[in-house]
Amino acid sequence: MKIVGVLGGMGPLATMDLCNKIIKYTDAKKDSDHVHTLIDNNTEIPDRTAYILGKGENPEKYLIDSALKLEDMGVSFIVIPCNTAHYFYEKIQKSIKIPVVNMIDEVAKELKDVKKVGLLATKGTYSGHIYEDTFDKYGIKVEVPPMELQEIVMELIYRVKEGKDNIDEVDIDSVIEYFRKLGIDNIILGCTELPVAFEQLGIKGKFLDPTKILAISTIRLMGKRVVGV
């Protein structure tokens, strides 16, 4: 019997968003049709962006410890619902014997015939070139906003993390408009708090939700059928 391990806690809301999407998109008529999931909602993992920017503790040990714990519990493979944590992907994968699904790679596979995308993400993801390093292999150009607009994206992300109810005060529309002026319609919500925020704000457009893509990949890897996409 296959079991998926979720290396979560970055943040908890994003972890639950992934799990909810796994449930939502699984073709299930009864409990046993759903995906067997073990979640390590490890909220003690230090901030990934802070470390990448040289301002915080290295989260690598915490990430590896969570991965080892899930492996010891018998999961078949691991998924990580945090874009910035994929900066440490290779180190995590080398530390365990089971596969770790690379969410960034899964997003790239969805972009057939797309040559350029916009990226909304944390400064850690931008600074670590997490998307660029993977997307280069697929011939996809990643466009990032200037620093002043990156600050707006970060403000939205951390308001969601803090559970604030005033996220509508953040001028995220100005960042979206920046990409549209460049003729870029495909925009990646490259932080797992962003799909949550966009749903709450009711923002519509040609956005790619890595959490949804990872959920669908997880369902398929578990040998289940996908519905409602």
Per residue in 62-101, pLDDT tens? Answer: 999 999 999 999 999 999 999 999 999 999 999 999 999 9
pLDDT in tens, 91-149: 999 999 999 999 999 999 999 889 999 999 999 999 999 999 999 999 999 999 999 99
Asked whether this chain's domains 4-102+212-221 and 104-209 adopt the same fold, the reply is yes
- The pLDDT assigned to 180 comes to 95
- For the chain, what percentages of helix, strand and coil (3-state, to nearest 5) are there? 50, 15, 35
Cβ proximity of 106 and 132 under 8 Å: no
Domain range list for the chain: 4-102+212-221, 104-209
Please return the burial class of 54, using the count of CB atoms within 10 Å of its CB with bins 0-12, 13-18 and 19+: exposed
Q: What residues contact residue 104 under an 8 Å CB cut-off, 6+ apart?
A: 83, 86, 89, 130, 131, 134, 135, 210
β pairing state of 77-79 and 116-120: unpaired
The fraction of the chain above a pLDDT of 70, given in percent, is: 100
At residue 205 the predicted structure's pLDDT band, cuts being 50, 70 and 90, is confident
Return phi, psi of residue 115, to 5°.
-105, -15
Distance between CA atoms of 156 and 166, rounded to whole angstroms? 9
Tokens 């549209």, residue located: 180
- The pLDDT assigned to 228 comes to 94
- The pLDDT assigned to 34 comes to 98
Q: Could you give the dihedral angle defined by the CA atoms of residues 190, 158, 43 and 105, in that order, rounded to the nearest 10 degrees?
A: 0
**61: Cα within 13 Å, side-chain hemisphere:** 3
The fraction of the chain above a pLDDT of 90, given in percent, is: 96
Cβ proximity of 215 and 103 under 8 Å: no
- The pLDDT assigned to 174 comes to 97
pLDDT in tens, 93-104: 999 999 999 999
- The pLDDT assigned to 165 comes to 87
Topology of the domain comprising 104-209: Rossmann fold (3.40.50)
pLDDT at 173 > cutoff 90: yes
Distance between CA atoms of 156 and 190, rounded to whole angstroms? 13
**Which among 67, 82, 120, 213 is annotated as catalytic?**
82
For residues 154-167, average pLDDT: 94
- The pLDDT assigned to 206 comes to 85
Q: Which tokens hold the place of 166?
A: 């005033």
Catalytic site includes residue 191: yes
**Helix/strand/coil for 187:** strand
pTM (2 d.p.):
0.95
Catalytic site includes residue 19: no
At residue 10 the predicted structure's pLDDT band, cuts being 50, 70 and 90, is very high
Query: Domain 4-102+212-221 belongs to what architecture?
Result: 3-Layer(aba) Sandwich (3.40)
Length of the chain equals: 229
Number of other residues whose CB lies within 10 A of the CB of residue 113? 4
Return phi, psi of residue 78, to 5°.
-125, 140
For residues 197-222, average pLDDT: 96
pLDDT in tens, 34-70: 999 999 999 999 999 999 999 999 999 999 999 999 9
